[in-house]
């Protein structure tokens, strides 16, 4: 029988699901940003040479710290699915289908919910979830991890801009107006979506990126009418999902 999970329940059962994995572990989440506790748990599972697959889909690349960490863990396979919106975590015995991304902000600030399923209690439902996870896996592509080194001679401002742009080298950067044209939404609705997703906020007459906004590739620019932000083209696809 499936079990309902609140925010704390999702985090608790996710930790147990990772710790209990003995053969396979799928972590499917559009956004990936791993806290230290999850990294330690995954490092422990990797020692047993189990099949660990992480599938993400909302950002062109991971942030540099997570990229560097993953680069040193040979037994974790990273896949990318450009249309991914589902969040599912599954091992050979249990599964969680939830609203929570494997993302530090979601785990610490959002109100989430989910469903926990044990293969022993409901084998048919577990198999349906596993089949869908396998389908997502087959539709994903392998992403090679690369961590760009920044010269110590570069200015702090240049380092900041480079770290933001490097993670979106395959993505066209668009203004709010261009995102409006791409999505068919008004500029006001585009701005509302970006602020609701906590990617930016208004300070005086300028738009400012949040920490999360920088992580997904937002770059601040100065123009004739003040400061504005350009965003990766993938952001527009998320707006209309």
Residue 68 has pLDDT above 80, yes or no: no
Q: Domain 3-142 carries which CATH code? A: 3.30.870.10
Answer yes or no: are the C-beta atoms of 47 and 19 closer than 8 Å. Answer: no
Alpha-carbon span 230 to 113, nearest angstrom: 32
Partners of residue 26 on adjacent β-strands: 53, 90
Examine the pLDDT at 74 and tell me if it is beyond 80.
no
The pTM (predicted TM-score) of the whole model is 0.59
Rounded-to-integer distance, Cα 214 and Cα 24, Å = 33
User: For 91-140, how does the pLDDT look when each residue is reduced to its tens digit (9 = 90+)?
Assistant: 999 999 999 998 765 566 789 999 999 999 999 999 999 999 999 999 99
Q: How far apart are the C-alpha atoms of 35 and 43, rounded to whole Å?
A: 12
Percent of the chain whose predicted confidence (pLDDT) is above 90:
41
Per the listing, tokens 């123009």 go with: 223
Helix (H) or strand (E) holding 16: helix 7-20
Residues β-bridged to residue 114:
5, 98
- CA atoms in the 13 A half-sphere facing the CB of 172: 9
For the chain, give every residue range classified as CATH 3.30.870.10: 3-142
**How far apart are the C-alpha atoms of 152 and 124, rounded to whole Å?**
56
User: CA nearest 79: which of 150, 142, 170?
Assistant: 142
Give me the half-sphere count of Cα atoms (radius 13 Å) on the Cβ side of residue 124. 1
Say yes or no to pLDDT of 60 above 70: no
Give, as one character, the DSSP assignment of residue 42.
Answer: H
Share of the chain above pLDDT 70, in %: 82
The C-alpha atoms of residue 209 and residue 20 are separated, in whole angstroms, by 39
């Amino acid at each position: 029988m499936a079990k309902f999970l609140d925010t704390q329940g999702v985090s608790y059962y996710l930790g147990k699901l990772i710790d209990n994995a003995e053969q396979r572990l799928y972590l499917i989440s559009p956004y990936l940003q791993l806290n230290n506790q999850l990294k330690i748990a995954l490092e422990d599972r990797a020692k047993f040479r189990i099949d660990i697959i992480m599938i993400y889909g909302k950002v062109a690349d991971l942030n540099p710290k997570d990229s560097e960490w993953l680069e040193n863990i040979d037994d974790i396979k990273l896949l990318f699915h450009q249309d991914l919106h589902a969040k599912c975590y599954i091992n050979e015995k249990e599964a969680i289908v939830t609203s929570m991304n494997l993302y530090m902000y979601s785990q610490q600030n959002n109100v989430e919910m989910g469903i926990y399923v044990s293969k022993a209690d409901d084998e048919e439902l577990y198999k349906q979830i596993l089949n869908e996870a396998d389908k997502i896996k087959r539709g994903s592509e392998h992403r090679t991890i690369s961590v760009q080194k920044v010269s110590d001679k570069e200015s702090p401002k240049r380092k900041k801009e480079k770290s933001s742009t490097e993670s979106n080298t395959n993505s066209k950067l668009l203004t709010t107006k261009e995102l409006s044209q791409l999505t068919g939404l008004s500029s006001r609705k585009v701005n509302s979506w970006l602020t609701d997703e906590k990617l930016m906020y208004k300070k005086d007459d300028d738009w400012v990126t949040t920490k999360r906004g920088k992580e997904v590739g937002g770059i601040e620019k100065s123009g004739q009418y003040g400061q504005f932000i350009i965003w990766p083209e993938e952001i527009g696809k998320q707006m209309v999902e």
